[in-house]
């Protein structure tokens, strides 16, 4: 445990599993008094058990990033107890898979944005006044390589992460003057419950695949994706270590690619022409090529 972090307060959203779970534990193990927040407190058993066993400075509280009142009440509870917030890790999110033609805007796309983008904004807006008054703080937003490179049948998810990248970059200029740093974490292919929580488009492409003109392409994608996943998948703990490093450093980088696959894809996007990158992605993920 690092004593210099003993009086610092951290919040992690989406702490019930995966990156959020490991990040909350990593911060607590390194001295941060950590609020591991989650929508469903029934999923808190594992993290509470570990925190109790290791005598960690960690408390689980309810926070639904989709809900204004839940967000406000959670932050007020933290402030009433600790009077400050030093680290905010915006991690809560999920994936929505399916052809954009098959995705319902009202029932599927809006909820995706509500959690992955507006949820970040909700929590950040509640935390910023506290950090401004302290003249210090770090907002660490968990993005994805899907915020840099678009993927087939991930238009909904990638849209939220591209938006999060722009939000974070813009926000960083606004809050630098108050001693607040905004940091992006961009992992890929993380071993976690994320894929178990992925939602499929409810229209014809998912429930009635024979009715969708995209069925064969989606099947190819899933086959190819498994191959890429087997080669490049990384544990959630690896992402948590990077987040911890960003939380501890006085002058962290403003964005962190996590994992070999993220590094490869970012390099391809930066060095290839749009057509070259497009065709490379088609070969890798769909087993096809175009001229």
* Burial of 174 (C-beta count, 10 Å sphere; 0-12/13-18/19+): exposed
What is the side-by-side strand order in the sheet with 9-12? 58-62, 33-38, 9-12, 87-90, 137-142, 180-187, 255-258
Check if 8 is active-site.
no
Check if 16 is active-site.
yes
Q: How far apart are CA 154 and CA 160, in angstroms?
A: 10
Check if 138 is active-site.
no
Q: Which two tokens stand for residue 92?
A: 């809560």
Catalytic residue among 8, 15, 16, 154: 16
Contact assessment for residue 163 and residue 93, using Cβ atoms and an 8 Å cutoff:
no
Check if 44 is active-site.
no
Catalytic residue among 161, 181, 203, 204: 161
CB atoms closer than 10 angstroms to residue 263? 15
CA atoms within a 13 Å half-sphere pointing along the CA-CB vector of 36: 31
Catalytic residue among 15, 17, 44, 143: 143
Q: How far apart are CA 185 and CA 177, in angstroms?
A: 22
Catalytic residue among 157, 225, 256, 261: 157
User: 12: which strand partners?
Assistant: 36, 89
Instruction: Please choose, from the candidates 73, 82, 168, 81, the residue with its C-alpha nearest in 3D space to the C-alpha of residue 120.
Output: 168
Q: Which two tokens stand for residue 111?
A: 């909820």
Catalytic residues: 16, 143, 157, 161
């Amino acid at each position: 445990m690092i004593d210099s972090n003993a009086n610092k307060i951290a919040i992690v959203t989406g702490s019930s599993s995966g990156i959020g779970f490991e990040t909350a534990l990593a911060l607590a193990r390194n001295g941060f008094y950590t609020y591991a927040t989650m929508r469903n407190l029934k999923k808190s058993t594992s993290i509470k058990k570990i925190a109790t066993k290791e005598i960690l400075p960690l408390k689980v509280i309810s926070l639904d990033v989709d809900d204004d009142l839940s967000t406000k009440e959670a932050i007020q509870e933290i402030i009433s107890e600790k009077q400050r917030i030093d680290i905010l890790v915006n991690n809560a999110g999920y994936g929505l898979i399916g052809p954009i033609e098959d995705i319902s805007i009202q029932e599927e796309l809006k909820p995706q944005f509500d959690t992955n983008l507006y949820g970040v904004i909700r929590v950040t807006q509640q935390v910023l006044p506290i950090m401004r008054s302290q003249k210090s703080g770090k907002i660490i937003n968990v993005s994805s390589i899907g915020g840099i490179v678009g993927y087939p049948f991930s238009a909904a998810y990638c849209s939220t992460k591209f938006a999060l990248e722009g939000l974070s970059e813009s926000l960083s200029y606004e809050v630098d003057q108050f001693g607040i740093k905004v940091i992006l974490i961009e992992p890929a292919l993380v071993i976690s419950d994320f894929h178990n929580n992925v939602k499929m488009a409810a229209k014809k492409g998912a429930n009635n695949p024979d009715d969708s003109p995209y069925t064969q392409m989606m099947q190819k994608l899933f086959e190819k994706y498994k191959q890429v996943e087997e080669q490049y998948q990384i544990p959630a703990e690896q992402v948590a270590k990077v987040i911890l490093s960003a939380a501890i450093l006085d002058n962290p980088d403003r964005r962190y690619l996590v994992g070999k696959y993220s590094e490869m894809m970012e390099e391809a996007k930066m060095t290839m022409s749009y057509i070259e990158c497009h065709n490379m992605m088609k070969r890798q993920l769909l087993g096809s090529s175009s001229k």
